[in-house]
């Protein structure tokens, strides 16, 4: 065989290309390494009989049994599980959020972790997803998943939801899209999604639409988030100390009074989220008290009890500029609470708080 004399630079370049191709091939072959963090909820729930699709006890099945109950996920990724909590998600506190976020951030820094799945109750899943979206600085997939029926029920949804969540977390195409929520074959942004129906498997809706779908272990993407998140966020769990500032929510309705707002402020709330009627509207019986509370330094944020794809327009129903109030834009009251608490770790200036609500 005739040996070809190659110049040193060309030989080095060819060697580099060969090594890169080999590494790429190895990476393409090596299964993704996915960590499943279990926190409880219905996906870990158990009912007395298969007919119990809505009557059951949440937070019973441990993470190793969850993983063992869906052996097919072992074909999608190399898996390991951790039991972070075992609680129903309506009982999450800000301390739970901080603890979970710290664990997710620590795992995301590890080279032997490619994606993270968090099994979670569906009641406050949307709040946890938004919080992690704001404070965990990673572009690796972090995917929250729950179920509307316990594993013991007929046509339980948890197994396929978990399979889909692992498929999404294991897929490099999921990177850089912020924290994701996988439910009922859909992939949602952790920022946008909320539980819109309390007793159906198609419970989770995003007012601006899902980002994509996951079908038979493959992801299909149709949108990407435009709001700041994860690596592009000014919030970082490593710089956040407990306790988070207390933020209260009060619901607007007919025959409204200012009692709840005053009580929340007296109880230590540093911001009040008004779950207003319509465009964040506020009863005339409530406005004077909130103006007084603002003068005492409490942030006032106008959200709306109306879901489904709108946003509260600044200075429309109330003179926000004059009152030095904030509008939650398209965030529902429970998500506004999360962002307001984080905003108050960085500022007490209402205009800066408003910037956070427009950018995140
Ligand atoms: N207790 C509710 C929770 O843990 C059950 C709802 C569910 O997980 O689907 O959020």
pLDDT 10s digit of each residue in the chain, 360 long? 454 565 676 666 666 666 655 555 554 567 899 999 999 999 998 888 888 888 888 888 999 999 999 999 999 999 999 999 999 999 999 999 999 999 999 999 999 999 999 999 999 999 999 999 999 999 999 999 999 999 888 999 999 999 999 999 999 999 999 999 999 999 999 999 999 999 999 999 999 999 999 999 999 999 999 999 999 999 999 999 999 999 999 999 999 999 999 999 999 999 999 999 999 999 999 999 999 999 999 999 999 999 888 999 999 999 999 999 999 999 999 999 999 999 999 999 999 999 999 999
| Beta-bridge partners for 234 | none
Going from the Cα of 199 to the center of ligand 1, the distance in angstroms, rounded, reads: 10
Whichever domain contains 217, its CATH number is 3.40.50.1170
End position of a domain, from candidates 187, 207, 232:
232
- Identify whether residues 195 and 312 lie together within a single domain: no
275 and 186 in a single domain? The answer is no
Distance CA 93, CA 235 (A): 19
Residue 67 inside a domain? The answer is: yes
Whether residues 98 and 225 share a domain: the answer is: yes
Among 232, 260, 295, the domain-final residue is 232
Same domain? For 189 and 57 the reply is yes
6 inside domain: no
Mutate to test the pocket of ligand 1, among 42, 125, 129, 157 (most ligand atoms within 8 A of CB): 42
- Please identify, by atom number, the ligand 1 atom nearest to the C-alpha of residue 120: 8
Does 13 reside within a domain? no
Point out the ligand 1 atom lying closest to the alpha carbon of residue 41: 4
List active site positions.
Answer: 42
Give 18 Cα–ligand 1 centroid separation in angstroms: 51
Whether 265 and 228 share a structural domain: no
Which protein residues touch ligand 1 with a CB less than 6 Å away?
A: 41-42, 58, 88-90, 121-123, 146-148
88 Cα–ligand 1 center, Å = 6
Question: Which CATH number is 334's domain given?
Answer: 3.40.50.40
Tell me, yes or no, whether 305 and 349 share the same domain: yes
Give the closest residue (by CA) to ligand 1 atom 3: 121
User: Distance (Å, rounded) from C-alpha 130 to C-alpha 333?
Assistant: 12
Same domain, 208 and 116: yes
Atom 1 in ligand 1: residue holding the nearest Cα? 88
Residue 19, in any domain of the structure? no
pLDDT value for 50: 83
Is residue 86 assigned to a domain?
Answer: yes
Range of the domain at 277: 246-359
How far apart, in whole angstroms, are the C-alpha atoms of residue 168 and residue 166? 5
The dihedral over CA atoms of 305, 306, 312, 313, expressed in degrees to the nearest 10, equals -130
Q: Is residue 332 part of a domain?
A: yes
- Number of structural domains in the chain: 2
Please check whether residue 216 lies inside any domain of the structure: yes
Residue 33 per-residue DSSP state:
E
Q: Are 220 and 261 in the same domain? A: no
The answer to whether residues 208 and 285 belong to one domain is: no
Could you give the C-alpha distances from 107 to 91, 114, 137, in angstroms and in order? 24, 9, 11
How confident is the model at residue 1, as a pLDDT? Answer: 45
Buried b (16+ CB within 10 A) or exposed e, 240-274: beeebbbbbbbebeeebebebbbebbeeebbbbbb
Q: CA dihedral in degrees (129, 209, 36, 360; nearest 10)?
A: -30
Signed CA dihedral, 90, 95, 98, 104: sign only: negative
Same domain, 227 and 88: yes
Residue at which a domain ends, from 208, 232, 256: 232
Q: What's the pLDDT tens digit per position in 158-176? A: 999 999 999 999 999 999 9
Same-domain pairing of 213 and 278: no
Q: Does residue 277 share a domain with residue 186?
A: no
Ligand 1 atom closest to residue 148's alpha carbon, by position in its atom list: 9
Residue at 4 is within a domain: no
């Amino acid at each position: 065989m005739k040996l070809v004399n190659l110049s040193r630079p060309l030989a080095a370049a060819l060697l580099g290309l060969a090594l890169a191709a080999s590494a790429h091939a190895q990476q393409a072959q090596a299964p993704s390494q996915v960590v499943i963090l279990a926190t409880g909820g219905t996906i870990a729930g158990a009912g007395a009989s298969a007919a119990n699709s809505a009557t059951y006890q949440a937070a019973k099945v441990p993470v190793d049994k969850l993983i063992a109950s869906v052996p097919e996920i072992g074909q999608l990724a190399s898996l390991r599980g951790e039991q972070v909590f075992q609680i129903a998600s309506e009982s999450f506190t800000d301390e739970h959020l901080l603890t979970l976020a710290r664990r997710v951030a620590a795992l995301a820094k590890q080279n032997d972790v490619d994606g993270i799945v968090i099994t979670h109750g569906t009641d406050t899943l949307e709040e946890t997803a938004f919080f992690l979206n704001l404070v965990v600085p990673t572009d690796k997939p972090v995917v929250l998943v729950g179920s509307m029926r316990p594993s013991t029920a007929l046509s339980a949804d948890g197994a396929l939801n978990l399979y889909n969540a692992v498929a999404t977390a294991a897929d490099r195409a999921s990177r850089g899209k912020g924290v994701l929520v996988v439910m009922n074959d859909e992939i949602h942004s952790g920022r946008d999604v909320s539980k819109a129906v309390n007793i159906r498997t198609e419970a989770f809706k995003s007012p601006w639409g899902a980002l994509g779908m996951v079908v038979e272990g493959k992801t299909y993407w149709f949108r990407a988030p435009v709001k700041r998140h994860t690596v592009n966020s000014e919030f970082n769990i490593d710089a956040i100390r407990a306790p988070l500032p207390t933020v209260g929510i009060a619901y607007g309705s007919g025959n409204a009074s200012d009692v709840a707002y005053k009580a929340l402020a007296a109880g230590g709330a540093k911001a009040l989220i008004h779950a207003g009627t319509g465009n964040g509207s506020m009863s005339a019986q409530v406005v004077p008290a909130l103006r007084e509370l603002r003068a005492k330094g409490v942030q006032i944020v106008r959200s709306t009890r109306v879901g489904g794809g709108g946003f509260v327009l600044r200075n429309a129903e109330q003179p926000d500029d004059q009152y030095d109030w904030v509008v939650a834009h398209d965030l529902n009251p429970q998500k506004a609470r999360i962002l307001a608490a984080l905003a108050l770790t960085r500022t007490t200036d209402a205009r800066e708080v408003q910037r956070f609500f427009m950018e995140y």
